[in-house]
Amino acid sequence: MPERVLSNKDMESIVDTTDEWITRRSGIKERRISSTRRDESTTDMATKASLDALKMAGISAEKLDMMVIGTVTPDRQFPSAACMVQKELGAGNAFAFDVSAGCAGFLYALAMVNNAVKCGMCQTALVVGVERLSSVVNWHDRSTAVLLADGAGAVVIQAKPEKGGILSTHLKSDGTAWDLLYASYGNSFTPDILQGLDQKPFFLKMEGNKIFKRAIRCLSEVSREALEHNSLESEDIALVVPHQANIRIIQGLASNLEIPMERVFTNIHKYGNTSSATIPIALNEANREGRLKKGSHVLIVSFGAGLTWAAAILTWTM
């Protein structure tokens, strides 16, 4: 996570908001905002998270044969964040690319790697979720500025003969509603190009309330699909690690699945919504806090821009 903490009190001096409103409506108390002066670019954050993951897995970067990064905020339009991180890690034996799937980016990336492992295309892979949303947030828009933040998380996936690991992945998209959450300008969409160099800034826009309702419904549906696919019931899930967008969305999901909040991991109060980074960051914290027990089933599930949403069920094998 970036070093700089921006509290709700700090947000009160940036936009017309209150600690009380942010806490009550979203569950967020503070978030982390990155700075390139402290080597906290998207590439920097992803590299640090990847080094931590490789260290924990006891694997050298040269062992990696595939790297996929879920992000909507790579440092450059091209090359991919994955290729830039590959250089930093010295992971010369991997092929590397990014996945753009909004807040579901990490889960989409995980699914690509899982299938590549299953068909024998790779043995040892790195999956990263990283976001520098502070670079696309409209800092005058209180409805989004208080929610979004920066961070990175990474996991190492290995082909193993024994059962367990990633049981299944379930990916969904609905492009008909892309305009509920999008970046107003950027990449090749420059409608004012003939007006010369007077480019409008690249801002994120969200219809929060519509997204909110869809998020609870879609997260619940895709979670049920994942459970049914594996012949599991809600009570078989030891821990849900959901996307951290709003504590009320997480509570709605838990209620629909009839899973008590004690079996749902949350850290949104500390980090806000870091899009594709929320799940790997949360998985890492849950793991280090000893909440992921060997042999237990974990449900991870996310929803975001695209619209995209996804779920996976894991059996923790460590």
CB of 274 to ligand UT7, least distance (A): 9
Q: From the candidates 170, 243, 246, 284, which is the catalytic residue?
A: 243
The two beta strands, 204-206 and 124-132, are: unpaired
Does the annotation mark 267 as catalytic?
no
Q: Least distance to ligand UT7 from the beta carbon of 239, Å?
A: 20
Among 8, 114, 246, 273, the one annotated catalytic? 273
| Contacts with ligand UT7, 187-216, as mask; x by CB under 6 A | ---------------------xx-xx--x-
* Choice from 133, 146, 254, 264 touching ligand UT7 (CB under 6 A): 146
Choosing from 8, 83, 103, 114, the catalytic residue is: 103
* Structural contact between residues 45 and 134, judged by C-beta atoms closer than 8 angstroms: no
Which residues share a beta bridge with 126? 67, 156
Interatomic CA distance for residues 248 and 192, integer angstroms: 39
CA atoms of 52 and 130, how far apart (whole Å): 14
Identity of the residue numbered 223: S
The yes-or-no answer on residue 273 being catalytic is yes
Among candidate residues 182, 166, 213, 144, the one with its CA nearest the CA of residue 307: 182
- Cβ-Cβ contacts under 8 Å for 93 (sequence gap 6 or more): 62, 63, 64, 65
| Amino acid identity for residue 203 in this structure | F
Least separation in angstroms between CB 82 and ligand UT7: 22
Number of CB atoms found within 10 A of residue 124's CB: 22
| Position 223 contacts ligand UT7 (CB under 6 A) | no
Site string for ligand UT7, 92-131 (x = CB under 6 A): -----------x----------------------------
The residues of the shown chain that bind ligand UT7, judged by CB under 6 A, are 17, 21-22, 25-26, 103, 142-143, 146, 181, 208-209, 211-212, 215, 245-246, 249, 273, 303-304
